[in-house]
A and B are shown apart, each in its own frame.
Chain A
Amino acid sequence: MLTYTIRRVLIMVPTLLVISALVFIIIQLPPGDFLETQMAELQAQGEGGNAEKLEFLRKQYGLDRPMIEQYAIWLGVWPGETGFAGLLQGNLGYSFEFNEPVAKIVGEAMWLTIVVSVATIIFTWVVSFPIGIYSATHQYSAGDYTLTLVGFLGLATPNFLLALVLLYLSNVYLGISIGGLMDQQYMDQPFSWGKAWSVLAHLWVPVIVIGTSGTAGMIRRLRANLLDELQKQYVTTARAKGLHPRKLLWKYPLRMALNPFISDIGSLLPEVISGAVIVSVVLSLPTTGPVLLRALQTQDQYLAGSFLMLLALLTVIGMFISDLALAALDPRIRLTGGTQR
């Protein structure tokens, strides 16, 4: 396992470096920068904004340096105006759009995003696990067909569309607005039990909207994996030897069929902070998703870059954790695999 861990860690390093370079390049690709855009907007409104000021700000934020130097400073492997002050030093940069440190902007929306995401993950697992097992053990029954239909509907319906439909139905038929994640009076207020209760009362809508497609996908994968395992020789042998069906199911095939749940850990961590961007915009959720979208739209390079880098880091760490768990739980060679001798 040490060899495996070492090799996986060594793969993570170049992966993160390539991702960070790509993120930085992509954010720099559009012509001009945030300051130029802002200056043009001010000039269009007939307000000040001169070349000297632009040059001063560009120098202050290091935007006048070569791109490779900006990248190295951003990473924290090259000293800037104030020495080493990049991602490695925990400095996510400064948001031009919000005029605040990136860490502060992201931090405010982070805990709400985590609440929504964790609730969604629990919903997905709790719902998909029993349904997936039922569908596989009762293949081609009326229940299986019904759940399969519901699953396909869930897979085929875009989350934002489901959000819009729910918003419309609740407005028209129930006369309530289900947008947002808490009552108006708790917005921008410090934590209180009333605020926590309000969040919990609003939570079910985004959880269902964001979790539906994931649940449907998980049901399909668990069903397919379990069916595959149930048809193997060792299951037939165990049945022939008289092992109780439930014990047989729990002890062997189900464990093997759990691989998709473990693999999903890899994508769970980034989801925790990405906060389903479009759904968050549609449902007016105060999560990190809309902040990222706004940063990308306005070319707020440090906010967008740091955010995307955080997502990439969590993806890579998530994949690492799920790979370690899979290697520990199911160290079998696959039919397509080969050994290096």
Chain B
Amino acid sequence: MSRHGYPPRVLALDYVRATTGLILTVGPIMLAEPLEIIQYILGGVAVLFAAFGLRTLLRHVTRVEVGESGIRTEGPFPRTVAWRDMTEVDLRYYSTRRDRERGWMQLRIDAGAVRLAFDSTISNFAQLAESVLAAAERRGLALGAATLSNRATLQGRQPS
């Protein structure tokens, strides 16, 4: 069994991102009386930043536990996914840079209506991802080409 959580330093950066985004979007709406369509666009983006802030807060108080029979999150909205209920697993890589360096991965687990997603900034992500992917393989789930390629990189192998 392993336990995982998001380090405070990573969460602090996300709080800064959410706050900066909210200031940059709500600020002009409140102070500069922009065109109506621009108000809607800025408002929409502000909602996105607010959602991101809330998600960061949830991550702050959530702990993840990977066990023999499945994966469980503890926090305000606890969820449990048994390995036998998993329907899809994805391991994706994102980067905002042109050279696609310094990016991060995201592990997404689907089990019917339940979906869990963890960024690679969580503690011991490689171990967590490998546990989930191995369980998915044991269950006979098909892993996509991107997932296999990213998994190989995570294990220190050359992606095919």
Give A contacts to B, CB under 8 Å.
1-11, 13, 76-77, 83-84, 88-90, 232-234, 252, 323, 327, 330-341
Residues in A whose Cβ lies below 8 Å from that of B28: 77, 88
Closest A residue to B145 by CB, please name it: A234
Give the Cβ gap from B16 to chain A, nearest Cβ, in Å.
Answer: 10
B35 in contact with A90 (CB, 8 Å): yes
Residues in A whose Cβ lies below 8 Å from that of B103: 333, 337-340
Could you tell me the distance between the alpha carbons of A88 and B153 in the complex, rounded to whole angstroms?
Answer: 45
Give the Cβ gap from A258 to chain B, nearest Cβ, in Å.
Answer: 14
Stretch at the interface among B68-76, B78-86, B90-98, B132-140: B90-98
A88 in contact with B34 (CB, 8 Å): yes
Give the Cβ gap from B41 to chain A, nearest Cβ, in Å.
Answer: 10
A332 in contact with B159 (CB, 8 Å): yes
Could you tell me the distance between the alpha carbons of A84 and B14 in the complex, rounded to whole angstroms?
Answer: 32
Residues in B whose Cβ lies below 8 Å from that of A5: 48
B3 on the A face (CB < 8 A): no
A89 in contact with B32 (CB, 8 Å): yes
B34 in contact with A339 (CB, 8 Å): no
Give B contacts to A, CB under 8 Å.
14, 17-18, 20-21, 24, 28, 31-35, 37-38, 45, 48-49, 51-52, 55, 90, 92-96, 99-106, 119-121, 125-126, 145-146, 149-150, 153-154, 158-160
Q: A10-B17, A333-B103, A339-B103 are in contact. Are A4 and B96 (CB under 8 A)?
A: yes
Give the Cβ gap from B140 to chain A, nearest Cβ, in Å.
Answer: 18
Residues in A whose Cβ lies below 8 Å from that of B24: 13
A4 in contact with B17 (CB, 8 Å): no
A333 in contact with B159 (CB, 8 Å): yes
Could you tell me the distance between the alpha carbons of A337 and B24 in the complex, rounded to whole angstroms?
Answer: 31
Could you tell me the distance between the alpha carbons of A339 and B102 in the complex, rounded to whole angstroms?
Answer: 6
Closest A residue to B20 by CB, please name it: A10
Could you tell me the distance between the alpha carbons of A1 and B120 in the complex, rounded to whole angstroms?
Answer: 13
8 new A-B contacts, CB < 8 A, other than A3-B104, A332-B146, are A9-B49, A76-B34, A77-B32, A88-B28, A89-B34, A89-B38, A323-B96, A341-B125
B48 in contact with A88 (CB, 8 Å): no
A336 in contact with B35 (CB, 8 Å): no
B104 in contact with A84 (CB, 8 Å): no
Q: A5-B48, A84-B33, A90-B38 are in contact. Are A336 and B99 (CB under 8 A)?
A: yes
Give the Cβ gap from B4 to chain A, nearest Cβ, in Å.
Answer: 12
Could you tell me the distance between the alpha carbons of A4 and B119 in the complex, rounded to whole angstroms?
Answer: 11
Q: Which A-B residue pairs are the 6 nearest by beta carbons?
A: A331-B92, A90-B35, A333-B93, A88-B34, A4-B94, A332-B146
Could you tell me the distance between the alpha carbons of A3 and B59 in the complex, rounded to whole angstroms?
Answer: 13
Residues in A whose Cβ lies below 8 Å from that of B153: 333, 337, 339
Give the Cβ gap from B9 to chain A, nearest Cβ, in Å.
Answer: 12
Give the Cβ gap from B15 to chain A, nearest Cβ, in Å.
Answer: 12
Could you tell me the distance between the alpha carbons of A179 and B44 in the complex, rounded to whole angstroms?
Answer: 44
Residues in A whose Cβ lies below 8 Å from that of B90: 331
Residues in A whose Cβ lies below 8 Å from that of B101: 336-338
Could you tell me the distance between the alpha carbons of A252 and B160 in the complex, rounded to whole angstroms?
Answer: 14
25 contacts between A and B (CB under 8 A): A1-B94, A1-B106, A3-B106, A3-B119, A6-B17, A6-B18, A76-B34, A77-B28, A83-B33, A89-B33, A90-B34, A233-B160, A327-B92, A331-B146, A331-B150, A332-B146, A333-B103, A333-B153, A337-B101, A338-B101, A339-B103, A340-B102, A340-B120, A341-B120, A341-B126
